[in-house]
Amino acid sequence: MMMTEFVTLEYGRLACDVVGEGPLVVLSHGMGTVRQDFRHLVGPLVGAGYRVVNVDMRGHGESSVDWPSVTGKAAISRSDVAEDLLGVVRHFGGPAVIVGHSLSGGAATIAAAQAPELVSAIVEIGPFTLTQTVHMGALFTNRRYRRGGIRLALTSGLKSLTWWRRYLDVAYPTKPADYDQYIADLERVLRQPERWAEFMKTGVTTPADAEARLADVRCPALVIMGSADPDWADPEAEAKAIVAAMPAGSGRVVMVENGGHYPHAQFADRIAAVVVPFLDEYAVR
């Protein structure tokens, strides 16, 4: 039976869905979404024998707002989220495997490097872990990349929920059956002024803090990337560059054909087929 538990840390509290028995797996979504992003992956992980804690990022979903940032400004950085995730692992009794999507992929990198005794392995899905540059040529030649990039830029530049919704439409090249309901529920959350303001804080920071810690990751790492992810001109090259910056032999890449930026929501069965064997090998029992 799934229970929602609120984990109180020094500066706020995090909403977590907790379900299952076995080694601990902590799920953390990306910017501008909520923990229900992982709604289709939780069941397969629990069925495989894992205790799953699915966390709302600080400021997002049902977690509290107005956390102080390590950056010293109104921001939500990967370092901030890494500290939160380590707090969750301590609360539930680690070590844990951290599964981080997008911004939280970078946070998983930092958490693993910072507290190796608490993180037995990491899974990064569509991760923003490397400092980004705009590939100007690809904006003209790669329609997928152009559409995603323009929509993201308009989301932050205009502070527009409409453009965020349009970005998500591109980021899901195919939609799960419950996509419309999920988006409607997400929009209800993001229409709350304080929640939208928290989302905007994620765009203030870059992945530079995560990139700086890649060489310090000593645990096994799995990087999962959708082949149709609009956030990169070449998603596979991005994933391989992340692994290349880790110690030799610690990471590997899995590409998801036709996966966008949310392959875990599009193709949960395919993601579980890759993640569960990884957990079976590296989760601490």
Identify which of 190, 195, 188, 153 has the alpha carbon closest to the alpha carbon of residue 170: 153
CATH number, domain 3-282: 3.40.50.1820
Average pLDDT over residues 107-133: 97
Residues 6+ apart with CB under 8 A from 52: 17, 18, 19, 20, 25, 27, 42, 45, 46
Radius of gyration of the chain from Cα atoms? 17
- Peptide bond preceding 207 in cis form (omega within 30 of 0): no
pTM over 0.75: yes
Residue 95 CA to residue 120 CA, distance in Å, equals 6
Domain ranges of the chain: 3-282
What's the pLDDT band for 2 if we cut at 50, 70, 90? confident
What's the pLDDT band for 45 if we cut at 50, 70, 90? very high
Identify the helix (H) or strand (E) that includes residue 52: strand 51-55
Average pLDDT over the chain, rounded to an integer? 96
Residue 270 CA to residue 81 CA, distance in Å, equals 27
- What is the pLDDT at residue 94? 82
Residue 33 has pLDDT above 90, yes or no: yes
**pLDDT tens profile 232-278:** 999 999 999 999 999 999 999 999 999 999 999 999 999 999 999 99
- What is the pLDDT at residue 208? 97
- What is the pLDDT at residue 99? 98
Average pLDDT over residues 153-168: 97
What's the pLDDT band for 20 if we cut at 50, 70, 90? very high
